[in-house]
Amino acid sequence: MSDEESPIRILVVDDHPVVREGVATLVGGQSDMRVVGEASNGREALQQFRAHRPDITLMDIQMPVMGGLDALIAIRDEAPEARIVMLTTYAGDAQVQRAIKAGARGYLLKSSLHEELLQTIRAVHAGRKAISAEASYELAEHATDDALTAAEIRVLRLIAAGNANKEIAEQLSLSEETVKGQVRNILSKLGAKDRTQAAMIGVKRGIIDL
């Protein structure tokens, strides 16, 4: 059977219609692939996946109702063979790591969709993994970093929400000294000069969401 007879069937999941339209336009010009379904959040993605059983799912990471990572996990629970490529607006390495650990087969920045989308779809369909160059650099850059502990991530979230040490200590039922120690560790691990920069780095790298 030739590619014309059996095109790669694609499900596009993104809460921005313009992104879905852009992907459909790119794919529409190819004889070896076609879009079989669209969804605007993770819950719809799960329903569309069940309905169409696509060869490739292109999934935005950050969406309302149910995010891309949760949808990725839910789909792969039902269909471990599912080939899912995550789409994102920034190359946060913590997000990349979580997606790859959860079984994503590819990771693409939306800014490079035009250059890399079609070759990524073909590569993943052929059984290979495909991570965009920029996301690969982020992964490599932070591969040897000390990861934040779950407790430190909780503190970082509260820092980003504008809480002082005393407020963080109260909310987490910790002593203020303990919180101060965790803040010092966070600044050191992230290479941040102050709390504001730590919060910004945390968001940029996908360690926390605002």
Residue 191 sits at the vertex; the CA angle it makes with 178 and 185, to the nearest 5 degrees, is 15
**Residue 210 corresponds to which tokens in the numbers above?**
């605002």
Q: Is the dihedral of CA 86, 34, 48, 13 positive or negative?
A: positive
% of the chain with per-residue pLDDT over 70: 90
Give the mean model confidence (pLDDT) for residues 79-86: 94
Return d(Cα 158, Cα 154) in angstroms, integer. Answer: 7
Nearest Cα to Cα of residue 121 among 197, 24, 5 = 24
Q: Tell me what pLDDT residue 88 has.
A: 83
pLDDT class of 2 with cuts at 50, 70, 90: very low
Between 114 and 2, residue with greater pLDDT: 114
Bridge partner list, 106: 85, 130
pLDDT at 144 over 70: no
Q: Which domains does the chain have, with CATH numbers?
A: 8-141 (3.40.50.2300), 150-204 (1.10.10.10)
Higher-scoring residue by pLDDT: 198, 62 = 198
User: Model confidence over 96-143: pLDDT tens digits?
Assistant: 778 888 899 988 888 877 878 999 999 999 999 888 777 676 666 666
- Give the tens place of pLDDT for each residue, 156-179: 999 999 999 999 999 999 999 999
Who's near 70: CB < 8 A, 6+ residues apart?
Answer: 42
What pLDDT is stored for residue 112 in this prediction? 79
Q: What is the pLDDT of residue 111?
A: 82
Burial of 80-103, coded b for 16+ CB within 10 Å and e otherwise, reads eebbbbbbbebbbbbbbbbbbebb
pLDDT at position 3 over 60: no
Burial 104-143 (b: 16+ CB within 10 A, else e): bbbbbbbeebeebbbebbbbbbeeeebbbebbeebbeebe
Check pLDDT > 50 for residue 1.
no
Looking at residue 92, what is its pLDDT? 63
Residue 75: burial class (beta carbons within 10 Å; 0-12, 13-18, 19+): buried
Q: What are phi and psi of 96, to 5 degrees?
A: -60, -50
Top pLDDT among 147 and 56 is at 56
Mean model confidence pLDDT for the chain = 87
Residue 70: its H or E element: helix 68-78
